[in-house]
């Protein structure tokens, strides 16, 4: 059985949970639903999964909301995953991050509408089959400058 | 490590990705600070493991994600109560400065730092590439320094200092 995880962070994202709560003989899902009203009927779910990042490797694929904590952690891991922007929120934070991931080909991106027509197996096969670019970043290098500035030890801008 | 409380630095962060940025900043720079970091957050679920002192406010960030009039009014009331409670704790701790990671509830802490004569730094969220947050636009004027994690924001925040990504 193929195992998939859906994680939506701390904000509700019922439309994503609902669209992925499809019966499947080959794919078993686990949903992290936060405070959502919709409760999955075809797969397991939990409100929150403590230290969820340490459980990623137990799954064959992950579908995540475009929350930055989840996305950057997954980009830095070897996991295969897809990103879905949560447009149920009032702000557009997640659209920008999903666009960043998609336009750089770092991972598969979907909208909730696009997931509607796909089976869980098709979603899994698309995520696994996608030839992604390896994520690289310039690691934050201003920590010492900031601390020196705050603690009065200099910290001039370099 | 020298635990000089008068040199402690506050890291202000909401839930989720905001707190993850504070966690990473703490991990990367803990050895550089002469004193310690104290994280002030409203995350309740303890999904993010923090290796420093943490002050937890009641969860108010969630109210800003669905911006109805009712939620905004509840936000103002709850935030005022939590802010006063937190300031009381901070008065006893006496930090030497503030580093804020968003969201918008960081603003009063930045303002408080400025009127108290402390240094205030804002680090714009790593999830914005094309248009800064409202918090960043305000901190562009309010904070002593503002740092950006995505170089694409440089044109939008004239005072933004690029620092790489946490």
pLDDT of residue B6: 63
pLDDT of residue B1: 43
What's the rounded mean pLDDT across residues B22-33?
94
What's the rounded mean pLDDT across residues B44-60?
80
Q: Which residues of B touch A9 (CB under 8 A)?
A: 16-17
Are residues B40 and B86 in contact, defined by beta-carbon separation less than 8 angstroms? Answer: yes
CA distance A78 to B39: 30
pLDDT of residue A41: 98
**How many Å separate Cα A113 from the centre of its chain?**
17
Instruction: State whether residue B139 is helix, strand or coil.
Output: helix
Q: Which residues of A touch B9 (CB under 8 A)?
A: 147, 150-151
Confidence of residue A25 (pLDDT cuts 50, 70, 90): very high
Beta bridge partners of A81: A62
pLDDT, mean over chain A = 94
CA distance B142 to B160: 12
CA distance B27 to B29: 6
CB contact under 8 A, B125 and A9: no
pLDDT at B65 over 70: no
- Helices B107-115 and B69-93: angle between axes, nearest 10 degrees: 40
pLDDT at A139 over 70: yes
Interface of A with B (CB under 8 A): 9-11, 35, 48, 50-52, 66-73, 89-94, 96-97, 99-100, 137-147, 149-153, 157
- Phi first, then psi: what are they for A39, rounded to 5°? -110, 120
Q: What is the ipTM of this complex?
A: 0.87
CA distance B136 to B131: 10
Q: Which residues of B touch A147 (CB under 8 A)?
A: 9, 29, 32-33
Ranked by mean pLDDT, the top range of A31-40, A91-100, B79-88 is A31-40
- The percent of residues in chain B predicted with pLDDT above 70, rounded, is 91
Residue of B42, B24, B62 whose CA lies nearest to A69:
B24
Q: Which residue has the higher pLDDT, B28 or B104?
A: B28
CA distance B106 to chain A (A): 17
pLDDT of residue B57: 80
CB contact under 8 A, A10 and B48: no
CA distance A123 to A91: 27
Q: Which residues of B touch A144 (CB under 8 A)?
A: 29, 32
Instruction: State whether residue A63 is helix, strand or coil.
Output: strand
Record the tokens describing residue A127, joined without a space: 């995520």
CB contact under 8 A, B145 and A144: no
Q: Which residues of B touch A32 (CB under 8 A)?
A: none
Confidence of residue B2 (pLDDT cuts 50, 70, 90): very low
Nearest to B33 among A137, A147, A152 (CB): A147
pLDDT at A154 over 80: no
Q: Which residue has the higher pLDDT, A143 or B17?
A: A143
pLDDT of residue B67: 67
| 3-state per-residue secondary structure call for B30-45 | CCCCCCCEEEEECCCC
Confidence of residue B61 (pLDDT cuts 50, 70, 90): confident
Q: What is the pTM of this model?
A: 0.86
pLDDT of residue A56: 96
What's the rounded mean pLDDT across residues A76-105?
91
Alpha carbon distances (Å) from A40 to A6, A67, B126, B133: 11, 21, 32, 34
What's the rounded mean pLDDT across residues A42-49?
95
CB atoms inside a 10 Å sphere around CB B88: 10
What's the rounded mean pLDDT across residues B22-41?
93
CB contact under 8 A, A93 and B15: no
Stated as kind and residue range, the H or E segment containing B11 is strand B9-13
């Amino acid at each position: 059985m193929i195992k998939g995880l859906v994680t939506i962070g701390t904000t509700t994202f019922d439309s994503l949970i609902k669209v992925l709560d499809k019966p499947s003989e080959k794919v078993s899902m686990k949903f992290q639903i936060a405070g959502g009203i919709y409760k999955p009927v075809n797969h397991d779910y939990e409100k929150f999964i403590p230290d969820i990042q340490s459980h990623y490797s137990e799954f064959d694929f992950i579908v995540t909301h475009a929350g930055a904590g989840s996305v950057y952690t997954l980009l830095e891991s070897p996991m295969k995953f897809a990103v879905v922007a949560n447009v149920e929120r009032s702000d557009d934070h997640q659209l920008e991050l999903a666009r960043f991931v998609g336009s750089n080909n770092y991972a598969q991106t979907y909208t909730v509408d696009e997931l509607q027509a796909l089976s869980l197996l098709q979603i899994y096969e698309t995520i696994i089959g996608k030839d992604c670019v390896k994520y690289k970043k310039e690691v934050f290098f201003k920590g010492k400058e900031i601390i020196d500035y705050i603690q009065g030890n200099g910290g001039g801008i370099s | 490590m020298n635990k000089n409380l008068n040199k402690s630095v506050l890291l202000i962060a909401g839930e989720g990705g905001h707190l993850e940025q504070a966690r990473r900043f703490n991990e990367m720079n803990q050895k550089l600070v002469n004193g310690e970091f104290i994280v002030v957050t409203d995350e309740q679920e303890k999904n993010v493991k923090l290796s420093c002192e943490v002050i937890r406010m009641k969860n108010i960030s969630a109210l800003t994600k669905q911006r109805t009039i009712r939620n905004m009014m509840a936000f103002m009331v709850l935030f005022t109560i939590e802010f006063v409670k937190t300031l009381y704790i901070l008065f006893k701790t006496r930090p030497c400065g503030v580093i804020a990671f968003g969201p918008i509830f960081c603003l009063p802490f930045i303002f408080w730092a400025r009127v108290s004569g402390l240094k205030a730094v804002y680090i714009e969220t790593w999830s914005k590439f094309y248009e800064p947050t409202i918090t960043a636009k305000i901190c562009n004027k309010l904070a002593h320094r503002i740092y950006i994690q995505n170089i694409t924001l440089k044109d939008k925040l004239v005072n933004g200092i690029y620092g790489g990504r946490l």
